Structure 1
Amino acid sequence: MKISFIIAVYRNEGAISGTYEKIKSLFGAALAGLEYEIIFVDDGSDDGSLKEILAVKKGDPCVKAITFTRNFGQMAAMLAGFKEAGGDAVINISADMQDPIELIPQMIQKWQEGAEIVICYRTDRSDTISAKLFSYVAYGALRLSVPQIPPGGFDFVLMDRKALDEFNSIDVRNRFFQGDLLWTGYRTSFIPYVRRKRTIGKSQYNFAKKLKNFIDAFLDASYLPIRFISSVGIILSILGVIYSLTIVYSWLRGGTPFSGWAPIMIAMLIIGGLIMVMLGVIGEYIWRIYDEVRKKPNYIIRDKYL
């Protein structure tokens, strides 16, 4: 049996050879008897990442490399690797050595015992307080629609060939990795771990990228934004009726309720703000429809070193 490793690379110079050596060492010990292939996908790195990948490949024919014309994002790199993988099972792992490679034998054991997807999920992470807070809020919101997602999220996973083929068959541009994977419904096992502190290089995930990924995932996985718009519309309609009845009642009693400009301006500002938010949500959905219709590829491959 062969295990394919997919490693998305973006400015990971200095960590690639270490990741490779740790994976390779497993197949001389705990995983002896299994074959492997390691597919590095260089997502438009502008450092020495590709040079390091090719140096590793030169000494091992089981190493493959794919390069993009520019930076298309981690999800695009993962998709390219998944489509190239030829193993009986595929493991997605980061290139920065923050995911514990020593869990791989346990993942493979669970797969051999019948699990079709094995998810290593984060119970904690060695990150800044702001990063932890954002992760907590983001995954908390996503769990409203996909409750199977672990609170700390995941991307360190093993997929059986069947699960991988089904995952690859989902032909959409704006992918939500965790949601799409769990949606397939294959037998899933979970392994908890603590994500290590990054010791080599610097994370390329700034707040803007994290926010974009969250919005993409939330809109892909949830009907809540549309339900929110409907609910707000109903609530405002009810409040409007109540307000109208209050005015009529007060007029019949000879009074003039809520006189002056202040109540009107407050109501206009609140309703106007809500309308803009609703238009923004609808615009996000319309953009995604347009993005699907124009059928641009998720990535463009410059070279393959197979």
Structure 2
Amino acid sequence: MTAQDPLSPYRSPTREGVLRAAQKIAEILPPTPLMPLEVDGVTLWCKAEMLQPIGAFKIRGAWHRLSDMSAGERERGIVGVSSGNHAQGVAWAAKKLGMAATIVMPRNAPKAKIAATKALGAQVVLYERPGQDRDAIAATIVAKTGAVLVHAFADPWIIEGQGTLGIEAMAQMEAMGVKGPAHIVACCGGGGLSAGLSLACPDAKLSLAEPEGWDDVIRSLAAGTILPVEDQAHPTPCDALQTPISFPINFNVLKNRVYSAAAVTPDEIGTAMRLVYEKLRLVVEPGGAAALAAVISGKIITDAPALITLSGGNVDPEYFSKILLNKTSD
């Protein structure tokens, strides 16, 4: 087999790439806490990614991607598409590296995410969701400006960077005398995080949780081919997981690796958000609670020790208050 160019955007992500990304990220960011959560007598190990500087795991892939760019690419700037967490990760990395960043974001994204992205110095271009194609808008900007596209999940650096969550968690478990993880349950949108974790922890079982109505990765894996979301107007509180279709780079990593999967309802997600607040005293956003929701609802049965991704905490205060009071239907 011919060795891949590690700086080629057309390469496949690898475990070696995940390990290199982990070393880079460890130089600038401390590990996020790995917190035990007792549920029905079973300990779930929850990775608290809402405690990243941008409030989500997306900072991992963004840093790996942007820090590997050449001087010429940095001068051209970058374009990203995101409902908010990838947006903030890219904007944070771009600011640290002195790069210009333009992010295509849905107009109905949480206000907190849009405001935080702008506060990091990125230019935000809003589009209508559903109704407009965010990838087409980003492609137009790239063609006009020459900027580099940094996709939210269909990029080898992004996949490898997200996988560093698993490398960190393994080291933390080992330090506590726990051998694992034996099982990983990951929140899934386009498949960037889950593909990265698959590479990072090849011996662990991998399960995916997607929102009800936005379970295109689950359906794609079952069908053996990539399928789009059937109804992009389907309501869900999980804005971070509203990806209309996965890409081959993600699907090819996941197609022979996923042990089980489940689509979770808004009520199940709300229950998980309240549990995290009550037991861990942390704020998790709806998309960041999907994995835990699948476990506590009984839709995914875990093998101990299990790693659960709490992948983000960027939620508007008004909505989170309604979740705590169980009044989202008001």
TM-score exceeds 0.5? no
Scaled by the length of structure 1, the TM-score of the pair is 0.29
Q: Larger radius of gyration, structure 1 or 2?
A: 1
Normalising to structure 2: TM-score of the pair?
A: 0.28
